[in-house]
Amino acid sequence: MARPFERGLLGGTFDHFHQGHARLILSGLKQCNILEIWITSDEIVSHKTGIIQSFEERSSFLEEWINKDGNMQDLGVSESEDHIKDLNSRISIRKLEDEVGPAEWRTDCDAIICTEETSPACENINSTRIKSNLIPLNIILVEHFLTEDGNILSSSLIRKGTYTRQGKKWIDTSQLSETLYMPKSIESKLKKPFGTLYEGPENDTSIAIKKLYGELNENLLGKIVAVGDVCVSALQKLGITPDIAVVDGMTKRQKLPEAQKPNQEGYDEYINCKNPAGQITPEFSNSLINASKSELKVLINVEGEEDLAPIILHLALPLDSLLIYGQPNKGIVACYSDEYVKNRCVLRLNEFTSN
């Protein structure tokens, strides 16, 4: 297959590699025999908001995708056209140590790949090349990949926990528009620890919390979310005010003595909602979703029961948020809201009924 250009350049962060990244690469390969992908270094992306994957993580994922000839089931890319064959021999990965890279001075390249958003930077590169008596690069403009509801899919939206890498929303708002009921068939599944169990005596949850905090203190970069009065109180004893606290004034379905209830000071926003046991009401789920997206510290007081809150919270929270809840007679469970956990919560929620 004859391609119009010999060597193309493509630069970017490639954080949480997604369908938009795949489209950029495949579009470049369709018109270039060789494609150089320049991935920004950790130093360059350090100013970005959210928790960016390390250069090693970003480059390793891209290498894996290349080794599979651009066919990764989790990205939904499985084309069989000629331009995505033998990617290993046609793609090279480099580290980008500055904002521009080699595009301004390279004489062995004839194309550069970009989106509408980054095309002005490519025009500036060509202006510099012309001033240096170099031939300008051919600009290959690629359309953005859109999410299922028409937004431009980006790594930042994935980090926020809003979309999957395929552009699907983690939360189906139509599903949560009516009350969901937990069937008896999944009750035993939900009782199993959904994360790492930190054991400790039931009468002093702070012991288990200390074990968790001792191990993860250096890695606590995202939101800290606590479900249950006892967990919230234990964190407060360590001087930690969770970014989101969900309480109902109960422990093991018994009213908690006033002296053992968590301190409700130190929060910027207070939400009151109702949620009967074994149910997820629209009022409850909306409260959890709004708190997850807030930049403020939020306390949610539930009239009823908050046991099912982790399912909705994991789906709504930004990636790398840490959710902590109590495990009766065992200790506490800690679980990061990563993509694997979000997928599991989707499956669990789909087992609920609406009548």
- Would you say 252 and 328 are in contact if contact means Cβ atoms under 8 Å apart? yes
Q: What percent helix, strand, coil does the chain show, rounded to 5?
A: 35, 25, 40
**Calculated CA dihedral for residues 247, 253, 259, 262, nearest 10 degrees:** -20
Q: Which residue has the higher pLDDT, 132 or 79?
A: 132
Q: What pLDDT digit, counting tens, does each position of 212-271 carry?
A: 877 766 556 789 999 999 899 888 988 889 999 999 987 766 787 777 788 889 999 999
pTM of the entire predicted model: 0.89
Closest among 354, 348, 355 to 170, alpha carbons compared: 348
**Residue 185: which pLDDT band, with cuts at 50, 70 and 90?**
confident
Write out the E strands in 41-186.
91-96, 111-114, 138-141, 180-181
pLDDT value for 201? 81
CA separation for the pair 133, 140 (Å, rounded): 21
Closest among 51, 18, 61, 346 to 165, alpha carbons compared: 18
Per-residue pLDDT averaged across 16-24, rounded?
96
Phi, psi dihedrals of residue 19, rounded to the nearest 5°: -60, -35
Per-residue pLDDT averaged across 7-34, rounded?
96
- List Cα–Cα distances, 64 to 35, 70, 87, 168, 317, in angstroms: 16, 9, 11, 22, 27
Per-residue pLDDT averaged across 64-74, rounded?
71
**Calculated CA dihedral for residues 101, 98, 167, 80, nearest 10 degrees:** 30
Question: What average pLDDT is seen over the chain?
Answer: 89
In sequence order, what are the residues at sequence separation of 6 or more whose Cβ sits closer than 8 angstroms to the Cβ of residue 75?
17, 18, 19, 22, 65, 165, 166
Is the domain spanning 5-159 CATH 1.10.3720.10? The answer is no
Instruction: Please tell me the total number of residues recorded for the chain in this structure.
Output: 355
> Helices 339-349 & 309-316, crossing angle to 10 degrees?
130
Positions of CATH 3.40.50.620 in the chain: 5-159
Encoded amino acid at 338, one letter: D
CA separation for the pair 73, 146 (Å, rounded): 18
pLDDT value for 65? 92
